[in-house]
Structure 1
Amino acid sequence: MNNNTIVLTGGGTAGHVSLNEAIIPELIKIGYKIHYIGSHDGIERTIIGENFPTIPYHPISNGKLRRYFSMKNFSDPFKVLYGTLQALAILRKVKPSLVFSKGGFVSVPVAIAAKLANIPVVIHESDLTPGLANKIASSFAEHIFTVFEETLKYLPKEKASSIGAIIRPDLLLGNEQIAEQLTGFQANKETIIVMGGSQGSANINEVIKVNIDALTSKFQVIHLCGKGNLDPALTGKSNYIAFEYVTDELPHLLKISNYVISRAGSNSIFEFLELKKPMLLIPLSIHASRGDQVLNAKFFEEKGYALVLEEENLTTTSFMETLGDLVKYKEAIIDKQFNAASSKTPDQFTELLLTYKK
């Protein structure tokens, strides 16, 4: 067993990779060697490959786990079994002292393999209710950390604890001058940043396009539209700028933004909360997901941290009306946000995580 080697896993969406991204520099800084186990073609392979090219990436087979009937339910368990055997071979070769999982279907065979290899597994669950992958993997885990305290009722009490959100420190280092250079905007004018998630959102993109004249007459608009979704019809529009996606630029773009329009992934909305940004959340609908974003959004709405417009009710009119309410209640929302519990930094989480290594 290599006491200074740790295996990370998680994938399927950017949200299942972002915490791993945040703690990798902390682990390297204190002398740990990192290996990553992910899928062959998931977003995690791109993110880790581009941001941490020196970290060994081990692709394995994984099958999707479903709560509904599908013919693939008969074949995918064999993919999970094969992935477990692959992960077991990797773990026996690498001999890590700990496996940390951020969730997603690829993490299940890794968690099972770690249990078989007698390597402790720690899981992080950021949504209000655990995803199916994390619910399965929790049976093999040494400990499960959650963001929401309410999540604990869905997990084994003896090995789960709530630690709040984990926020990247660089998000707090946004610079208005850099934002002005990136956008051509003025920091003293009201600005909206629109985010549809790592892949963008066709519905959100469309409602921005339809309302673009009304929006740009009142606000500067920063639109993160998703890869391949730049609209030539909006290019050069006054008070509007679009990016397919951003990485290091995000803290600066958020710094200049007065309002956020976004999906309701847990990682993102807690970042906006930490930055005290009034939010209009348009959660991914239950028809396109397991409904975790809807629950996250409703929780934030109940706490007074955000306004919510469900996708089924998203129209040209409802969007502008709800945005008007966001502007109207801006100060009240920010006041509520200041009552939220403080977050942890990646280095604080890393220190906590390492207490479980073998």
Structure 2
Amino acid sequence: MTILLAGGGTLGPVTPLIAIVEAWKNADPSARFVWVGTRNGPEAELVRAEGIKFLYLPVARLTRYPSLEWLTLPWRIVSAFVMAWLILGREKPSLVAVAGGYTGVPLAYAAFLRGIPVWTHQPDVKPLLSNRLITPVATLVTLAWSVTAASFPKAKTEVVGNPVRAMMRAGAKDRAANRFNLDLRLPTLLVFGGGGGAKWLNQMCMDMAPKLVGVANVIHITGVGKMKPAYQRFGPHYHAVELLTDGMNDAIAAADVVLARAGMGTISELSALRKAAVLVPIPGSTQEANARVIGESGAATVFSQPLATLGDLEKAILGLLGDELKRRELGNRLASALPTDVAEKIVHRLQRIVKK
């Protein structure tokens, strides 16, 4: 049996599908996987590291503002569909699986015309346009959030949560303590802004550092190219690194409080490990809807970047660092709001579809 997965451009569509691959391999070691992503996206390295065959399609999407790309869009749509049709004919998958991203659109329609079932997963609260386009030809649509259900047809839609890779739950606080020389008598704050870091969060963290280092360990992941010599002056309790290519699960396991953006990968990992979070979504992005739902359910402390002040962040973070009961309460609420131990359940559902 071959399963064809599609997604890329960012890691948003990739990480939940990797979790599905892991669970499917556990259920059926004979299953074969093929991934179709983008030519220059960050997903190829991660996918190949999992031993999955990687192919790519040209991305055919309408840019938000008028540009020369609009003139070539019809050609790119036709080209992507033809390539998708040929890939499906060559790989002969039993299922096409998508979790957002425009790469999946031509594959979904080509699969529909070939009689291949299509599953698409919607991780974010705000429906992705790509998933709206795929839904008419999808056999099954799964959602991370119940509030999103009204945007999809009830007959083919199920709310399941968002799958997280098993390795995230295998993080170890003691490994992080050794790596960063943490003082285990103090709570730990983890700060990161996603794969590329976040300039605003970096600046806020640096401004808060004099108050933080007296009461907590700080693990600050700045993002590549964003390290500053100034970070070294905050003393032995402040640990700044550009990137964690491995050990991110250990860093999250060690954290008592996390200051981060509100991407679904981040939220899902924090939910899986029941972490108290202070979230600042990227302005004008789908992260804002994610953060709003979490904030309204009392599952995290949420700030709007344009409105947040240094004093606001200091008060929230220092308050959580000093209140273990509140931290535990937030972590449990986040885990309840977004189930993440769902990969096996989704795989069983998909296997029933394939066997029909």
TM over 0.5: yes
Q: Distance in 2 between matches of 1:302 and 1:100?
A: 31
| Corresponding position of 1:246 | 244
Cross-structure match for 1:279: 277
Asked if residue 6 in structure 1 is aligned to residue 7 in structure 2, the reply is no
In 2, the alpha carbon distance for the partners of 1:277 and 1:78 equals: 47
- Cα distance, 1:81–1:202 mapped onto 2, change above 3 Å: farther
Identity of aligned residues (%): 27
Counterparts of 2:176 and 2:322, CA distance in 1: 25
Q: 2:212, 2:318 within 8 Å by CA — same for their partners in 1? A: no
Return 256-265 or 40-49, whichever deviates more: 40-49
For normalisation by structure 1, the TM-score amounts to 0.90
Structure 1 residues 64 and 201: CA distance shift in structure 2, 3 A: farther
Q: CA 1:337 to 1:256, structure 2 compared with 1: closer, same or farther past 3 Å?
A: closer
Conserved 8 A contact 2:160-2:342? no
Contact 1:147 1:162 in 2 (8 A): yes
Aligned residues: 349
SS of equivalent residue, structure 2 residue 94: strand
Matched, 1:313 2:310: no
Between 113-122 and 243-252, the greater mean CA deviation after superposition? 243-252
Q: Distance in 2 between matches of 1:354 and 1:150?
A: 26
How far is the alpha carbon of 1:201 from its aligned partner?
0.9
Q: Which residue of 2 aligns with 1:48?
A: 47
Cα deviation for residue 71 of structure 1 reads 4.4
How many angstroms apart in 1 are the aligned matches of 2:63 and 2:152? 19
Cα distance in structure 2, aligned partners of 1:337 and 1:191 = 15
Moved more, 148-157 or 328-337: 328-337
Instruction: Give the CA deviation at 1:189.
Output: 1.4
When structure 1 is superposed on structure 2, of 348-357 and 274-283 the one drifting more is 348-357
Q: Choose from 11, 16, 19 the match for 2:16.
A: 19
Stretch moving more, 56-65 or 236-245: 236-245
The alignment status of 1:37 with 2:44, answered yes or no, reads no
Question: Which residue identity lines up with residue 334 of structure 1 in the other structure?
Answer: R
Q: Which residues of structure 1 form unaligned runs of 5+?
A: none
TM value normalised by structure 2: 0.90
Task: Indicate which of 296, 304, 328 corresponds to 2:298.
Answer: 304
Distance 1:245 1:112 in 2: 38
2:107 corresponds to which residue?
Answer: 110
User: Pairwise mapping of residues 1-358 of structure 1 onto structure 2 (< 5 A)?
Assistant: 4-29=1-26, 30=28, 31-49=30-48, 51-52=49-50, 54-235=51-232, 237-286=235-284, 289=285, 292-327=286-321, 331-332=325-326, 334-335=328-329, 337-339=331-333, 340=336, 342-357=339-354
**Greater mean deviation of Cα atoms: 251-260 or 345-354:** 345-354
Deviations 1:164-202 (A, max 9, x none): 232333323322221112111133311001120111111
Distance in 1, matches of 2:97 and 2:112, equals 12
Name the aligned partner's letter for residue 249 of structure 1: G
Q: Distance in 1 between matches of 2:223 and 2:349?
A: 34
Gaps of 5+ in 2: none
The 2-side partners of 1:77 and 1:247 are apart by 39
Give the AA of the match of 1:197: G
C-alpha deviation, 1:248, in angstroms: 4.0
User: 2: CA distance between counterparts of 1:76 and 1:241?
Assistant: 47
Report the Cα offset of residue 276 of structure 1.
Answer: 2.1
Please identify, of 231-240 and 204-213, the stretch whose mean Cα deviation from structure 2 is larger: 231-240
Asked if the contact 1:305/1:333 (under 8 Å) is kept, the reply is no
Describe the superposition over 1:299-346 as per-residue Cα deviations: whole angstroms up to 9, x where unpaired. Answer: 111111111111112443333233234446663453254352654343
Q: CA deviation at 1:97?
A: 0.3
Q: Contact 1:278/1:330 (CA < 8 Å) preserved in 2? A: no
Return the alpha-carbon distance in structure 1 between the equivalents of residues 340 and 14 of structure 2: 19
TM-superposed CA distance for 1:85, in Å, is 1.2
Provide closer, same or farther for how the CA distance between residues 337 and 258 of structure 1 changes in structure 2, counting only shifts above 3 A: closer
Which stretch shifts more, 123-132 or 340-349? 340-349
Structure 1 counterpart of 2:266, one-letter code: S
Question: Matched residue of 1:123: which SS?
Answer: strand
Higher mean C-alpha displacement, 294-303 vs 325-334: 325-334
Instruction: Check the 8 A contact 2:171/2:249 in 1, yes or no.
Output: yes
Alpha-carbon distance in 2 for matches of 1:177, 1:225: 22
Q: Secondary structure at the match of 1:197?
A: coil
